[in-house]
Amino acid sequence: MIDAVTVRVTGLECFGYHGVFPEERENGQRFVVDVEMELAELASTQSDHLADTVDYEAVAETVATVVGGPPVDLLEHLASVIADRIMEEPRLAGVSVTVRKPEVKLAQSVTETSVTLRRSR
């Protein structure tokens, strides 16, 4: 018996103009997004039809549209907007969105900053 199905889109690179500082909004930068979606319905495990699951391409397009859209200050807010848009898909029970900022400008050396947000029905 299958209890749950999780669909992931990992490492999606998008360009956007988000951040608190003026140079972030003027120059823009690369954001990397991971999306993990839990299916509410498991029909796709039996049917093998795209219509019974979440479409990866549509998810990637949604993420790219949000990241490329109007600027926000905080990664938390950006992750929330992405999650809200993805949860419009009725086949989902929940979504986890991680937004990473690899070129963050800090006084200290870091690989990236990131935020993970989880939404569920």
Residues forming the active site: 101
Question: Is residue 11 within 8 Å of 32, Cβ to Cβ?
Answer: yes
Number of alpha helices (DSSP H) and beta strands (DSSP E) in the chain: 4, 4
d(CA 120, CA 3): 16
Written as six digits, the tokens of 11 are 């490492």
